[in-house]
Structure 1
């Protein structure tokens, strides 16, 4: 049996929709080769997150308008607390 035949353990994460919209917008507009990392797996994990966000059928974030993105950024930023 090879690695492709085994199911890898997964973790389910619930995100506030605004967070998902902000993350998706950032990941799609960022050159991951310029993001500081200390291990190649970190860049791959970001790419994997983007892929999962693209397929999040319960939160159709891939079609967010510029206005929806701006509103999501505003919502997320006001809860920063730091």
Structure 2
């Protein structure tokens, strides 16, 4: 990532971050539909941030299950 570029801060509900991190760790990004290679790179950048700047790499399966349940409750559909 280019450190000269401006940053955008995004606050996420921890459960959302856990769900996204778990998905990014398990998904094959070659199977994710993209319309530009930058989309895949942005997902990889997000995963790298989760890995290096959060405590998410240490989440347990129980925490992942709980986060998925919590996030699914807010779906509204």
TM-score tier after normalising by the smaller chain length: over 0.9
The TM-score with structure 2 as length reference comes to 0.92
Q: Which has the higher contact order (CA 8 A, sep 6+)?
A: 2
Runs of 4+ with >6 A deviation: none
Q: How many residues align?
A: 77
In structure 1, the gaps of 5 or more residues are none
Task: Work out which of the two has the higher radius of gyration on C-alpha atoms and give 1 or 2.
Answer: 1
Question: Superposition pairs for residues 1-80 of structure 1, below 5 Å?
Answer: 7-57=4-54, 60-80=55-75
RMSD value over aligned CA atoms?
A: 1.7
The TM-score with structure 1 as length reference comes to 0.87
Task: From the superposition, tell whether residues 32 and 71 of structure 1 become closer, same or farther in structure 2 (CA, over 3 Å).
Answer: same
In structure 2, the gaps of 5 or more residues are none
